[in-house]
Each structure stands twice: as C-alpha cells, then as structure tokens.
Amino acid sequence: MAGDGASYNASDITVLEGLEPVRMRPGMYIGSTGPTGLHHLIWEVVDNAVDEAMAGYCTRIDVTLLADGGCRVSDDGRGFPVDHHPQYPGKSAAEVVMTTLHAGGKFGGAGYKVSGGLHGVGVSVVNALSTRLVLEVDREGQHHVIEFVNGGEPKGGLEVVGPAPRDRTGSTVTFWPDPAIFEEVEFRAQTVTERLQVMAFLNRALEIRFADQRPGNEKRETFRYNGGIVDYVKHLNASKESLFRKVGAYQQTEDRQEVEVALQWNTGFHESIFSFANGISTTEGGMHEEGFKKALTNVVNRYAKSRNLVKEKEDNLDGKDIREGLTAIVSVRLTDPQFEGQTKAKLGNVPMRSLVERATNEKLAEWLEENPTEANQVVKKALLAQRARVAAQQARDLTRRKSGLDGAGLPGKLIDCSSRDRRECEIFIVEGNSAGSSAKDARDPRTQAILPIRGKILNVERARIDKMLKNAEIQALIAAVGAGLGEDFDVGKIRYHKVIILADADVDGSHIRTLLLTFFFRQMKPLVEGGFVYVAQPPLYSTLVGKEKVYLKDDLAKDAFLREHPDHKHDFQRLKGLGEMDFHELKETTIDPVKRSLLQISVEQAALADDVCSVLMGDDVELRRHFIQTNAKDVRFLDI
C-alpha cells in the first residue's frame, strides 16, 4: 500500500512531547533493560525502514552488527527529511526526529498512510539510550550527517559533507547502546536474524541483508521472499508433514485497508495461526483473527454440506476441529491501527474483522471449489478431529473424577509448600528420585514445592489429547499446576507463580526439558505467555579456590574464571547429575533464590517457538540434527 504521493518533508513531522524521561525510566519505553530491551533498539530503527518499504519507497535494508559493538541500519528509502522544521526554527526535521519523543511522520502527518512504527516509541528512544548515534541521509543528491553523543545531545547541526553516492536516497542510522543503561550490550545474531526473516516474509520481495562483523562471529545472510507469506507458511510447515502440497492464498483491499492470508494444513494436531497488523505481531489476536476464524468455520462447513461429506441433519464441524493441523498467516495493513491488551498485542479495529470475514467467505470458498482433492482432505481431517475431541472429553471427564483435574485432589508424590500466597510459591519439576530427595531437603518448605517425575514424559507433539490424559506423569503435572489443560486452561487458577524445570545438564536432561517445554507450550500456553515457566540452570563445573568450592555456570564462565586466575592448578570437575549433589550443593547452586540462576521461557515470537517445537519433537530426524548442530554453540540448553 503505497502513500498517495512522494511528499515527505518537515511539515509532515508532528511533535508530541520531549525526550527527557527516557533515560530515567527506560523500561517504560523499551520494556526492559535486559536482552529484550537491547534488541528493541534495533527493531525501532528497522521498523522505520520497513515503513518506507510498506509505503512503496524502499526495496532493501542492510542490518550490520559492527566489530566495535555498534549496529548500523541502512535503507534505500526517501531519506529522513532534512529541511527546517516549522515548529523548531533553525533545526532540521532530522534533528527533531532524533531528539524528540513521538516526533515522526506517523502522527497526523501525511508522510505515511500505513506504518508499523506506531507500536514503538520512535528512533529518538534509540538515541536517548546510546552513547553515540550517527545519522546519515542521502537525499536530493546530497550526503547529510548529524552526530549525537551522551544519550542524544547533538554535536552540531545537520551538515552536508558531499554528494550522495550514485544519486542514492535513503537513511543510515549507526548507534552504540549505553552500557550504563543496559545489563549487557552484546547483540545476539540469532535473535536479530529471526526477526529480520519474519519482516522479509511479511513484505514480499523486500530484500533484508544481515552481516555480523564481530570477531569470531562473522556471518552474512540475505532474506528475500518473492512469495511473501506463502513462503512463510511453507517455511513453518517444512518441519511438519503437510496434508497436501498446495498453499491456499488470497488478498483483498478496500477503503485503505488490506488483508492477505496464506494457509496450509499439516497432519499434526495443533493449530498455528499467526496474525500481524502493519508488520506487528499481534500475539493476542484481535479483530482480524476473529474474522478469519469465523469465516473459515462457515466456509468449510458450507463446502462439507454441499458435497454431502457432512449430512444435512448432522452437527456442523466445530471451528477447533477444522483448525486442527492448520498453519495460517493473517497479515493486515491499515491506516490507523488500534492496539489493545496489556502488551499492546491485540488489534481492536472492528472494520478489519468485517473485511477479513468477507475476503475469507468469498476467496477461500473459491479456493476450495477449485481444489476439491485438498478440500476433501481438510474436511476428512476435521471429521477425525471431531471424533478425537469427543473421546478426549470423555477421557478428560474420567481423569477429573479420578484425580481432581479441577484442583480438588493433588498427586501423592507432590511435596507441597505451606504458603497459600501463589505469588510467592514456586514448584520444581525434578526428574529422578535421587534428585527429588535432595531437592526436598534443599528447598524452603514454606514457598518451594517439589514434584518428582519419573523418566521422560509423553511427547505431546505426536499425541492427541485423549492419549495424553492417560499418561500418569502428565496427570500429576496437570493436577499440581491446578489450572486445567488446553482450551480449559485458566491461568488465574495456577497454584504457583514460578514453575521451574530442574533436570540434569546432559543429553537426557536436555530431552526432558524439551518434552516439558513442549507440553507447556502446547497445552498450557498462557503459563508460558505469562512468564511463569523457568528452567533452572545448575552449574556445569566446580573447582576449588583454596578450600572454597566455586561453581561455574557454563563454558563461558569457566573461560572467564581462567582469564581471572591464569595460574589456577586444579582440573575442573564437570557436574552432570543433580543426584550427584548433596542437598547443600543443590541448595547453594540451584534452589536458593539468592544464589541460583534461572532462565525465563517466553513465547515472544510464537511462530518461532511453534517451529522449534515441531523440529525438536517431530519425526524428521535430519531436520532435528541440523537444528541442533546449527544452534549447539549458541545456546546452553537445546530446547527453546
């Protein structure tokens, strides 16, 4: 959706408020000062470039992690406006954008008809949280430069330093995050490339190039998808077994609103619908997703009854049955997106629901008529899902009566805590009886509960819910958490605000962690989304310094220790089993809230988490081996 014209000047920049609060309360603007907030700086700058692409003016974006720790984002769009701003005599619009919060072409100006940048707070926040930022603008044949230091102070005005190379237009922002603000300032290449790939999928034919120039991490990748979200669906289903090869796709534009949908079913049991508004991931759904689901149910039922695959007197197929095994992308663009929900991840524009519904009712119905073989497979799979759902409900009812799924009865092996304030309570899910015994002695009985589980739980990626509910370990997990399962899961009823997976630091431990994380992601997703799931990180090594035992979390910690103690003479002991530790060691390294190290699990990018679950827990051994080999050096635990 291109803008109405190419006008993008100082008069298109609207100013809302000053910049001062950002350094005082960075968390309010970027969410946190941890890794998530650090990477948010890149997203803010890249979003500006993507907005230029959505407006029809940018075809390529380059993102480079520099050897000195900085980041450079360059695009071939129109370039920041360089003329003087009407509200700020003597200041260029580029300087105003960089030094004033909420100044930009998206607030009432005519610079953009559609933009994703509204969900952020502007590139000025990146400037405020950087020790140094350099803006270069190629526009009207000239190369302009302005530099900022100490969190956004301009070293001077915008200057023309020469001609633009080869009549180039565009903007380049280079910034260095402030270590006084952030807990760490080292960017993670994988986090960046994952996000860039999604942006390339959502913007058909936009080329995004990534380069990592840091010593030892040198890497280059290019993302460009001429098929757009059709390629995205193929990518997500590559780790699954597709029900058929074709990908359904349709789009519709009206009243400066646009919807684009791509969908394909696989033989699995989970629905994977990912929605976006102006390139922003709407993880909580919203009007566009509602319209799609409602129309999908209507269209498939109409088709099934018209072909007598479902008899006229029989009940309609339920939406959940139709969506079993569905992978779909719903991407909309609109001029004034209204975001709702605590995390601003839900689209609230009511007219968008109507547009998506109309488009799906019309275009998807046409696709089913034109592809009868695939349409029949969809209906047959939904009928199987319907039967399984009825069986699952019966199994669930039986389980409820036997073990009190609703929280009335707790598993016998649960060693519960005495506090009834769920906000301070935590449960350790511990594999193995010996580790369970040590954990029991190491815990604080007032706030820490222990649930020992035996062996590896059922792989829920390959099992329907009726089979799952017959598994003793899963029954114990459901009862202990106390909030139900799947569609019935109520996060308000959870009995603990920290659910901590505690498993050995070896291959078997990694497998158990992955099985448990897959279970939580598939069947208790709000638990993960709410940030209640953690992985304990027992140390990999111990060594003696004098008579004192020192524990080291991983190889990086060991290397850092050796740099600090080059003359250290002891062979390091590798700690493999939790059962090898006595309760004093377990408490000191892993259970004591003051000394332990926990990894919080999030589903910030649900599509990625879905894909990882499918790769690690699916049937494709080669794909799994490739994933592990690719990621082994980058993560401590081979799970999510």
Residue-wise DSSP of 407-472: TTS--TT-B--S---TTT-EEEEEESHHHHHHHHHHS-TTTEEEEEE-SPPP-GGG--HHHHTT-H
567 is catalytic: no
pLDDT mean over 109-130: 64
pLDDT mean over 131-147: 95
Confidence band for 67, pLDDT divided at 50, 70 and 90:
very high
pLDDT value at residue 117: 46
pLDDT mean over 289-310: 96
Cα–Cα dist 19/385, whole Å: 54
Q: What is the pLDDT of residues 455-469, one digit of tens each?
A: 667 666 666 666 777
In the Cβ-directed half-sphere of 472, how many Cα atoms lie within 13 Å? 9
Q: What is the pLDDT of residues 237-273, one digit of tens each?
A: 988 889 999 999 999 998 889 999 999 999 988 899 9
576 has a pLDDT exceeding 70:
no
Cα–Cα dist 523/328, whole Å: 19
62 has a pLDDT exceeding 50:
yes
pLDDT value at residue 236: 92
pLDDT mean over 562-567: 82
pLDDT mean over 32-55: 90
pLDDT value at residue 623: 57
58 has a pLDDT exceeding 60:
yes
Tell me which residue of 18, 73, 19 sits closest to 45, measured CA to CA. 73
Catalytic one among 159, 506, 619, 634?
Answer: 506
Q: Give the percent of the chain with pLDDT over 70.
A: 81
Q: Which residues are within 8 A (CB) of 547 and not within 5 positions of it... i.e. 6 or more apart?
A: none
pTM, two decimals, is 0.69
Catalytic one among 340, 441, 466, 508?
Answer: 508
Q: What is the pLDDT of residues 74-87, one digit of tens each?
A: 999 999 989 887 77
The fold adopted by the segment(s) 229-389 is: Ribosomal Protein S5; domain 2 (3.30.230)
Cα–Cα dist 285/618, whole Å: 26
pLDDT mean over 579-604: 78
**Lowest model confidence (mean pLDDT) among 368-377, 434-443, 614-623:** 614-623
632 has a pLDDT exceeding 50:
no
Q: What is the pLDDT of residues 391-421, one digit of tens each?
A: 777 666 654 544 444 444 677 788 999 998 9
pLDDT mean over 595-599: 80
Are 297 and 319 in contact by the 8 Å Cβ rule? The answer is: yes
How many residues in total does the chain contain? 640
Higher pLDDT, 53 or 604: 53
106 has a pLDDT exceeding 80:
no
Task: Among 3.40.50.670, 3.30.930.10, 3.80.10.10, 3.30.420.40, name the CATH number for the domain at 404-538+581-631.
Answer: 3.40.50.670
Q: What is the pLDDT of residues 313-372, one digit of tens each?
A: 888 999 999 999 999 999 999 988 888 875 668 999 999 999 999 999 999 999 999 999
Q: Give the percent of the chain with pLDDT over 90.
A: 43
619 is catalytic: no
3-state DSSP assignment of residue 6 = coil
Q: What is the pLDDT of residues 166-178, one digit of tens each?
A: 889 999 999 999 9
431 is catalytic: yes
563 has a pLDDT exceeding 70:
yes
pLDDT value at residue 38: 92
pLDDT value at residue 616: 62
Cα–Cα dist 233/81, whole Å: 37
Same fold, 10-223 and 229-389: no
Q: Which residues pair with 153 in a beta bridge?
A: 149
Catalytic one among 178, 504, 585, 610?
Answer: 504
CA angle 511, 192, 166 (to 5 degrees): 155
pLDDT value at residue 619: 57
108 has a pLDDT exceeding 80:
no
Q: Of 105-114, 166-175, 587-596, where does the model show the most confidence?
A: 166-175
Confidence band for 633, pLDDT divided at 50, 70 and 90:
very low
pLDDT value at residue 431: 78
Confidence band for 118, pLDDT divided at 50, 70 and 90:
very low
pLDDT mean over 590-611: 74
Confidence band for 102, pLDDT divided at 50, 70 and 90:
low
Question: Is CATH 3.40.50.1370 the classification given to domain 10-223?
Answer: no
Catalytic one among 431, 461, 611, 639?
Answer: 431
Domain spans of the chain? Answer: 10-223, 229-389, 404-538+581-631, 541-574
Confidence band for 433, pLDDT divided at 50, 70 and 90:
low
Which CA distances in Å does 117 have to 42, 52, 74, 278, 359? 12, 10, 16, 9, 26
Q: Give every strand in the sheet of 280-281, ordered side by side.
A: 248-254, 257-265, 326-334, 272-277, 280-281
490 is catalytic: no
Q: What is the pLDDT of residues 208-245, one digit of tens each?
A: 999 999 998 899 999 999 999 999 999 999 888 899 99
Q: Which two tokens stand for residue 557?
A: 């910690």
pLDDT value at residue 139: 93
3-state DSSP assignment of residue 142 = strand
**Lowest model confidence (mean pLDDT) among 2-11, 28-37, 184-193, 512-521:** 2-11
pLDDT value at residue 326: 96
